[in-house]
Structure 1
Amino acid sequence: MLQFTPLPTSLPQSPESMVDTHVKPVTHHNAFPCRNCLQDGLPGEEMLLLHYNPFSPSPSSGCASPYTVPSPIFIHRNPCPKYQCDGSVPEQQRKRLLAVRAYDADQMMVGFAVVKGEELGQKAEELFEDEGVRFLFVYYAGPGCFAVRIDRGE
């Protein structure tokens, strides 16, 4: 079973107060994916567009990896429930083209793939066949925004 984590590092208590945060009204379907609840914003809702770094601050080596780059993400402006993983690929990812990146314990990229969302589960399992892979980050292939972290299930 795969473990999907929408926000692997925490956001500030008040993300709306961050300097680089923008309020964006949802204008159409399937364009504003919330990274907290893993549901798309609906027309009429407001989303926050903010700067987010999904990498943990210190890899096991103590040196920063050159791959630890931040990404823009959307979250609902109003509180929404955090996604609860059931082991299946979230609907938000199943309907998009995705870039999957595999990282080792030092947060160095050791594998990657571009897949249709419905192929994500199978590709994740394949990447995890390499024992050196510690986690996967999934990005939306078009805009390049961080989508979700995947870990091996327990």
Structure 2
Amino acid sequence: MHKFIALETDIARHWQNGGKDVHGQIPDRKISDGKGTPCRHCLKDVPEGEEMLILAHRPFEGVHAYAETGPIFLCANPCPRGGDTGALPPILTTSPDYLVKGYSADERIVYGTGEVVATEDIQAKVADVFQNPDVAFIHVRSARNNCYQARIERD
């Protein structure tokens, strides 16, 4: 089994309280149109009309060639942390497909695990990727923009 992991609350609160992102910048503040604005903490779209943050995030512990950095959205106001279950989070139900990619314990891509899959096939793909003993965790990313969505770990 596996579980979807949202950003840690202390990280989200850092940015929501005006902290700088991975590039040393204060997050941009915008108003959400309610579509395609997935908060990586509550794992839901930022509601229409609500303020959101746009910032650079690197979902890796180390800095190396595989440690991709990219933009993410976050509710500007404190929101409850989502995830920690095997259920597909709401943010992974709004697009027809997503990139699913496995990583080793040293945060390197496990080649042969990455694939763009239909939303309804994410769970099966995750189970398949975790059959590889070299895979320590999985990222789900946007199939169109490669933006980080969520981390998946074995339960």
Normalising to structure 2: TM-score of the pair? Answer: 0.85
Partners in 2 of 1:150 and 1:93 — Cα distance? 12
In the TM superposition, what whole-angstrom CA distance separates every residue of 1:112-152 from its partner, at most 9, and x where no partner exists?
01012221110000011111111101111112211000011
Q: TM-score, normalised by structure 1?
A: 0.86
Where in structure 2 are there 5+ consecutive unaligned residues?
Answer: none
1:13 to 1:83, Cα distance in 2 relative to 1, 3 A: closer
Say which SS state the counterpart of residue 126 (structure 2) adopts.
Answer: helix
Do structure 1's residue 24 and structure 2's residue 24 form an aligned pair?
Answer: no
Contact 1:95 1:118 in 2 (8 A): no
Q: Which runs of 4+ in 1 moved over 3 A?
A: none
Describe the shift of the 1:12–1:47 C-alpha distance in structure 2 as closer, same or farther (beyond 3 A).
closer
Q: Give the Cα separation in 2 of the matches to 1:112 and 1:8.
A: 25
Does structure 1 conserve the Cα–Cα contact (< 8 Å) formed by 2:4 and 2:150? yes
Structure 1 contact 8–149 (Cα < 8 Å) conserved: no
Distance in 1 of aligned mates of 2:101 and 2:26: 26
Q: Does 1:146 align with 2:148?
A: yes
Instruction: Describe how 1:52-67 pairs up with structure 2 within 5 A.
Output: 52-57=57-62, 64-67=63-66
Instruction: Report the CA distance between 1:21 and its aligned residue.
Output: 1.0
Match of 1:71 in 2: 70
**Is contact 1:33-1:92 (8 Å) kept?**
yes
Q: Secondary structure at the match of 2:11?
A: coil
Q: Deviations over 1:29-59 (max 9, x none)?
A: 32211000001012110100011110113xx
Deviation at 1:68, TM superposition (A): 0.5
Tell me which residue corresponds to 1:61.
none
Counterpart residue identity of residue 104, structure 2: D
What does residue 47 of structure 1 align with? 52
Per the alignment, in what secondary structure is the counterpart of residue 46 of structure 2?
A: coil
Residue 128 of structure 2 aligns to a residue in which SS?
A: helix
Give the corresponding residue for 2:139. Answer: 137
SS at match of 1:4: strand
The CA RMSD measured in Å over matched residues stands at 1.9
Is 1:86 paired with 2:97?
no
Query: Of residues 42, 50, 54 in structure 2, which corresponds to 1:37?
Result: 42
